[in-house]
Amino acid sequence: MTVLTVPEPDVNSSTAIPSYDIAIVGGGIAGATLACGLRDTGLQVVVIEAQPQEQALQRQRAYALSVLSSRIFTGLGVWEQLRSQIAAFRQIRLSDADYPGIVGFAPPDLQTEHLGYVGEHGAICRPLYDAIAAAENINWCGPARVEAVTYDDTGALLTVQAAEGQQAIRARLVVGADGPNSPLRQRAQIPTQGWKYWQSCITFTIRHQHPCNDTAFERFWYGGPMGVLPLTGNRCQIVWTAPHAEAQDLLKMSANEFLARLNTRIGSLLPGIELASDRLLFPVQLMQSDRYSQERLVLVGDAAHCCHPVGGQGLNLGIRDAAALAEVLIHAHQQGEDIGAQAVLKRYERWRRPENWVILGFTDLLDRVFSSRWWPVIGIRRVGLLLLAKVPLLKKVALRLMTGLLGRQPQVAKLQS
C-alpha cells in the first residue's frame, strides 16, 4: 500500500487524475474488510478515509464477531493476528427479566469450538490495516473527505479534500462504506425505509472478579435488552438499551449510583464489577436502503442498513456484505465484465439485501416482544423461551441464524469451514 498524495490536478486533463478500478469511501471495518478481500486481484483500489488511522484505532467500542465473521477473516489471512487480541465465548445465556428460566447455548449445539468472539474496534481494525498496508494494489487516501462525485457511463470522478488540498480521483466503481448517514447514499438520492426506536444504548466496559469469562449474556428487560460480552483481561463490554429518558438519567449518574443500578440488572452474574471506561450513548434505529446499488455505486455495511444492537448482529452484516461484494467483483473481473455495471452490482444486492432483511426483522421482533409489558406477549415469549430450551432443532436453527451460518456463505468463508 502507498499513501496517496497528489498535487491539485488540472481537471481538464484526464492524464493528471489518478485512476482506479474501485474507490472505497470509508475505511472502517466494513470498508477495510472489502479492501482486504480485493488484495492481489489485479484490481486497483483506493480507500478514502476521513480519520487518521491511529485515531480510528482508538475508538472506544467493542463488537461481537460471529462464527461466520471469524471464518471470513480466516480466509482473508488476518484471523491469526486478530484472534490473539480478542476474547472468545463458549456459552450464551438468554434470560427474560425476573423470569427464572434461562436458555443456554453451548458449542455442541453448533459443533464448533466457540460460539463467537468479542473484539475492541482497534483490535479488529489493526490486522485489516496491516494487510492493506502490505498490498501493492491498494492505496490509502486519508485523512480525506469526498466533497463531490460525478458519475458517467464509464466511472465516477470524485473530488476529495485532503490535508494537501483538493484532489480529484477517478474510479470505475465507488463503494459507499461511509456509515449510517452516508453522504454518498444521500447524494445519490437513494431512499431508505425504517424508523428510530424509542430507545438509546449506553455502551461501556466493566471489570469483574468472576473466575470464568467465557459467557455472553443477553438480558431482556421491559425497557430494552442488555448485552454483556466478554473481553480480554476479565472485562466485559456492556450494551444497555433503555428508553431515551432513562438512558439520559443513567448517563448522568455518578459512578457509584450507576454501578448500583447495574448490579440490580445483572444480579449475581458477575461479582465485583467496576467501571473500566467512560459511558457512551447512541440512539438506535432500523434502516434499510431501498436499493444497495446503482450504476457505478454500491453500498455496504451501515451505509446500506442498520439494525437494533440486540444479538450483536450489525457489524457482522457489514462484514458479510464486504465478503460477498468482493466475491461478486472478483468473479466479474475474471470474466472480463464491467465491475461498475448495474447487472454485476445487482448480483450482490440480490444476495445480501434479502438476508439483511431477515436479520433486521429478527432483531426488531426480539426487541419489541421482549420489551413489552403486555401480559399476553409476556406469556407468549416465555413459552417461546421454553420451546427454545427444550427443542434441539429450534435451538440449532436459532443459533445458526445468530452466528451467520444459516444463509449463503461467501466462498472465502466456505474454504475454512
- pLDDT-derived band of residue 266, with 50, 70 and 90 as boundaries? confident
Angstrom distance (rounded) from CA 222 to CA 199? 11
**254 or 407, which is more confident?**
254
Q: In percent, how much of the chain has pLDDT > 70?
A: 96
In a domain, 256, yes or no: no
Cis amide leading into 18 (omega within 30): no
Per-residue exposure over 293-307, b if at least 16 CB sit within 10 Å of its own CB, e if not: bbbbbbbbbbbbbbb
In a domain, 255, yes or no: no
Q: CA angle, 29 as apex, 167 and 41 as ends, to 5°?
A: 70
> What was the pLDDT predicted at 142?
87
E strands, 128-191, are 138-141, 144-151, 156-162, 165-176
- The domain of 142 spans 2-193+285-414
Output the nine-digit C-alpha cell for 194. 425504517
412 and 323 Cβ atoms separated by less than 8 Å: yes
- C-alpha closest to that of 123 among 183, 58, 167, 66: 58
Question: In 10 A of CB 170, how many CB atoms?
Answer: 19
In a domain, 366, yes or no: yes
**407 or 43, which is more confident?**
43
> What was the pLDDT predicted at 16?
72
In a domain, 225, yes or no: no
Residues in contact with 272: Cβ distance below 8 Å, sequence separation at least 6, in sequence order: 208, 209, 210
> What was the pLDDT predicted at 11?
41
Angstrom distance (rounded) from CA 217 to CA 237? 11
In a domain, 221, yes or no: no
In a domain, 302, yes or no: yes
Q: What is the mean pLDDT of residues 168-197?
A: 97
Q: Helix 314-334 and helix 342-370: axis angle, to 10°?
A: 170
Angstrom distance (rounded) from CA 65 to CA 196? 24
pTM: 0.93
pLDDT in tens, 63-74: 999 999 999 999
In a domain, 278, yes or no: no
- Tell me how many domains the chain contains: 1
Query: Residue 19: which CATH number?
Result: 3.50.50.60
In a domain, 206, yes or no: no
